[in-house]
Amino acid sequence: MADSNRAGKSVEWHALDDTELITRLETDTHMGLSTGTAAQRREQYGANRLTEAKGRSPLVRFLLQFHQALVYILLAAAAVALFLQEWVDAGVIMAVVLLNAIVGYLQEAKALDAIAALSKSLHSNNTILRDGEKIAADSAELVPGDIVLLKSGDKVPADMRLLETRDLKIDESALTGESVPADKATGRQPADRALADRNNMAYSSTLVTYGTGLGAVVETGDHTEIGRISAMIAATDTLETPLTRRITQFSHYLIYAILILAALALALGMLQGKPIVDSFMAAVALAVAAIPEGLPAAVTIMLAIGVSRMAKRHAIIRRLPAVETLGSTTLVCSDKTGTLTQNQMTVQEIVTADGRYQVTGAGYAPEGDIVPLHGDVNSRALIQTLISGRDCNDTSVRFEDGLWQVAGDPTEGALIAAAGKAQDLPAPANRVDALPFESEHQYMATLHDADGKRRAFIKGSIERVLPLCADALSSTGERLPLARAAMEQQAEDLARRGLRVLAFAQIDEPAFDKLSHATLTGGLTFLGLQGMIDPPRPEAIEAVDACHAAGVGVKMITGDHVLTATTIARQLRLLRGGEDNRAVTGRELDAMNDEVFARTAAQACVFARVTPDNKYRLVQALQAQGQVVAMTGDGVNDAPALRRADIGIAMALGGTEVAREASDMMLTDDNFATIRSAIEEGRGIFDNLKKFIVWTLPTNGGEGLVILLAILLGISLPILPVQILWINLTTAILLGLMLVFEPREAGIMTRPPHPPGTALLDAALLTRIVIVSVLLCIGAFGLYEYELLTGASEAQARTVAVTVFIIGEAFYLLNCRSLERSLFDVGLFSNPFIWVGISAMLLLQLAFTYVPVMNTMFSTAPIGLDSWLRAAAWGFVIFAVIGAEKAWRRRGGGSASQQGAGARA
């Protein structure tokens, strides 16, 4: 067998004529392959399944959690503490490191899930020819050259070139994004024809919905179109989220500062003649003070709480960082079918000889009205058009699992739903014969018997049905002369608006008892036209407008036809005045160089007839321009782009398992409007994360300043490393985490997203962090020295210093509930969890101070009420200073953060 494709040279199988195809495959359409030949080819090409890449072992994935700059510093600090036999300090540091590693390991997504799902989607049983006999074979056993017989309900087992078809329709939506099953044919086609338009091919994992066919397997396993997508998924790196990138950058800066300061502390201690052990402990204390140990765990917990919130709004988060990414999203690239649209064909207009009607409602539910635009709603022609669509039909619509679902052709399901919206239609008449739809004749016919009277219904393309009609039915039931030109014009008008048009006709009291094409040569009465489309979701239109108002762009990227995509885009207001008023096709994208491609990606709003490569490249181009891209999709063809995007969003109801496994988030209602809600929720979580970071960093800053000042003055450390860990971890969990429950601030969806590439904290917020750090240092160091001067022990003085940090952070937490507004504007009790956290923290601090076991573990001692009052007074000073600073900025002295209109006083 010729094997040029496996050697790297792609074969355009759709462009070969049948004889050349059979010759290259060395097969026989009547006999198939012999058992021996099939075995040889299976040995040569392998099984018809996707190769699963080998991933890292669980142990390696766990160890990689320690591969972080800040963790290395903590591990080094723990090693020094162990060397110095400071067992408690070393134990607490190691517990923190281990906790972060466990949390990171548990929330890491399995990299091979999407590949495994693809492999599962390939498995099926099919009928093939082997040694001239029809046999049932597992899809994994197929090889190039096998002859496969297809029938309705079959999953296509491999990429195949079709050699025989009879009314064959295949649902390729998962691969191409086309909303209706593709009609298949035979014969060679142009080499440059796009994948979605190659109707002489059947592709692996697609589904036969109607008719029969016979084809030759041309590609199997990794060499199929779905195999190419699998390879793209495997080769695609998931990107760090915006916050992760900023925290990583912050970590790098921090590690340099820690190393320099720790070395400086060690050198100063040695120059001052201190024992080496004390100098090492001072350096360790400085390192521990500078590292926000609670930050990774707190961020993870905050994101996890955000996950539960989003689940209530129909968004299931598969990767925790996706919560934060939603808040930074600048652009949503959405699939059309099923996300922006219903993924349910819906009749929207009906035209008769003397009437025109609008049909409301959407989907397969028999809910809606038929509104006359011109004519009578009780028109006989309208009623017969609806009855014809319902009865000349092989599909059923039923209510299951809370949804109206179609069993059969979506187009026929739309006709049944339209008939269900009419009042008092007679029950379906008994069918006595039927002529199925055939591509050659472009119509379907049924013969019915009702109360001894016979009637034949015909539905099909207007090009085929209209020439068979002699007259037309009027609204009163009379026969009218058929205005052919006017009906053709009406059909063209519907088609120009992206609607799929079917024509309907009938024959009363036919002279025949059996249907045949020979009996349907003329004399029909024209009933009307029905125009249908997969309509946009009403809530999606509002959601698109809301995204635009929030500064989030929306682009439609679909595999569907250009006209359909353009029509839906206009209804969604994605195409407006002043914009390029057409869709850019995948073929046009393929012909562009990188510069033109990048410009088109930025400027165009609608992309149609795109391939998986196009989608992936569009996401890459947009990310290269600094966009934070959210990509939605439900098909196999969407998986590489979903994985590449900053956040991949899959459909839980109608999506493929492959798309779900490649995603970061799933929509349980498959609704674009949920994305808008998720972005709003994500922005709220992002704001609260930012508040947490602004709140937690002064703790580390203040601790570091206290240690540095003690080293410079050559005195004992006012706070020990183990006490610093106590402050950092307990306040992060009991105080800082309460910020996650802050309500979203007003106007959150009327401000632009945080610009990509800009610093997380602006100059004003950095200034605030420095002010609070200095105030904490002054309070802790000053009261430590005061306690020693008034006769307190060193343990008591250190306990007071720790208490200053605890109470100071509690007061500052109230300032951080809004980065610009005052506590009284926000509302004292609008977040009751703040007070729960402060109360719990104070109770824990009492145990830290007075419980003997805690005194032993943390080198603390009981203190008097006056010491508590002095610490509380200094905490109030911090609250008042920051309150005044915010008030000054609100009056025009500066901007603390771009919180939007709702965050400004």
**Region 826-832: what's the mean pLDDT?**
90
Per-residue pLDDT band for 529 (boundaries 50, 70, 90) equals very high
Residue 706 contacts residue 719 (beta carbons within 8 Å): yes
Q: Which two tokens stand for residue 449?
A: 């018997």
pLDDT exceeds cutoff 80 at 455: yes
At residue 245, the pLDDT reads 66
At residue 840 the predicted structure's pLDDT band, cuts being 50, 70 and 90, is very high
Asked whether the predicted pLDDT for residue 89 surpasses 80, the reply is no
Q: Is a pLDDT exceeding 60 seen at residue 481?
A: yes
- In this prediction, residues 398-416 reach a mean pLDDT of 87
Beta strands 524-533 and 469-473 are parallel
pLDDT in tens, 490-525: 999 998 888 999 999 999 988 888 898 888 989 999
Q: Which amino acid is at 339?
A: T
Residue 443 has pLDDT above 50, yes or no: yes
Instruction: Please state whether the predicted TM-score (pTM) of the whole model is above 0.75.
Output: no
- Characterize 507-536 residue by residue with b for buried, 16 or more Cβ atoms within 10 angstroms of its Cβ, and e for exposed: beebeeeebeeebbeeebbbbbbbbbbbbb
Report how far residue 834's alpha carbon sits from residue 840's, in angstroms, rounded to the nearest whole number: 10
Q: What is the pLDDT of residue 293?
A: 64
> How confident is residue 812, by pLDDT bands cut at 50, 70 and 90?
very high
pLDDT at 296 over 70: no
What is the DSSP pairing of strand 396-400 with strand 133-138?
Answer: unpaired
Does the pLDDT of residue 426 top 80, yes or no? Answer: yes
- The residue to which tokens 């026929």 are assigned: 412
Among 122-136, 479-493, 650-664, 754-768, where is mean pLDDT lowest? Answer: 650-664
pLDDT the model gives residue 124:
64
Taking the CB of residue 238, how many other CB atoms lie within 10 A of it?
A: 16
Choose the most confident range, by mean pLDDT, from 1-15, 90-104, 679-693: 679-693
Cβ atoms 147, 215 nearer than 8 A: yes
Q: What is the pLDDT of residue 578?
A: 47
pLDDT at position 320 is 65
| DSSP assignment string, 365-387 | SS---EEEEES-TT-HHHHHHHH
Phi, then psi, of 864 in degrees rounded to 5: -85, 170
pLDDT 10s digits, 319-339: 667 777 787 899 999 888 777
Residue 254 · residue 84 · CB < 8 Å: no
User: Percent of the chain having pLDDT more than 90?
Assistant: 40
Q: What number is the average pLDDT over the span 616-624?
A: 92
Residue 333 near residue 622, CB atoms below 8 Å: yes
Q: Does the pLDDT value for residue 583 go beyond 90?
A: no
- The chain-wide mean pLDDT, for the chain, equals 84
Q: Indicate the pLDDT class of residue 243, thresholds 50, 70 and 90.
A: low
Q: Which residue is associated with the tokens 């989220």? A: 241
Determine the Cα–Cα distance for residues 273 and 403; give it in Å rounded to an integer.
80
Is the per-residue pLDDT at 902 higher than 60? no
How many residues in total does the chain contain?
Answer: 905
Q: What pLDDT is attached to residue 826?
A: 87
Q: Please give the biggest Cα pair distance in the chain.
A: 119
pLDDT of residue 313 exceeding 70: yes
- Does pLDDT of 660 surpass 80? no
User: Which pLDDT tens digit goes with each residue over 661-719?
Assistant: 778 888 888 888 888 888 888 888 888 888 998 999 899 889 989 988 888 888 888 99
Query: According to the per-residue pLDDT averaged within each range, which of 225-229, 540-544, 831-835 is highest?
Result: 831-835
Question: Residue 881: its pLDDT value, please?
Answer: 96
Residue 211 near residue 166, CB atoms below 8 Å: yes
Q: At which residue do the structure tokens 């001072």 appear? A: 282
Instruction: Fill in the DSSP letter of residue 538.
Output: H
52-56, 447-451, 882-886, 899-903: which is most confident: 882-886
Burial of 474 (0-12, 13-18, 19+ CB in 10 A): middle
Percentage of residues in the chain with pLDDT exceeding 70?
A: 87
Taking residues 474-488, report their average pLDDT: 94
pLDDT tier, 901 (very low <50, low <70, confident <90, very high otherwise): very low
CA angle (417, 420, 423) in 5-degree steps = 155
Average pLDDT on 66-94 reads 70
pLDDT at 115: 38
- Six token digits for residue 372: 């006359």
Residues 6+ apart with CB under 8 A from 253: none
Instruction: Determine the distance from the C-alpha atom of residue 305 to the mean position of all C-alpha atoms in its chain, rounded to a whole number.
Output: 19
Average pLDDT over residues 72-89: 69
In this prediction, residue 247 has a pLDDT band, given cuts at 50, 70 and 90, of: low
What's the confidence (pLDDT) of residue 81? 64
For residue 352, pLDDT beyond 90: yes
**The one catalytic residue among 89, 335, 354, 670:** 335
CA distance 420 to 548: 37
- Rg, Å, the chain Cα set: 35
Nearest by Cα to 722 from 90, 75, 73, 82:
90
Please say whether the beta carbons of 787 and 797 come within 8 A.
yes
DSSP alpha helix (H) spans, 84-203 = 87-106, 113-122, 173-176
Assign 760 a pLDDT band (cuts: 50, 70, 90): confident
Read off the tokens for 600.
């088109």
Q: Check if 335 is active-site.
A: yes
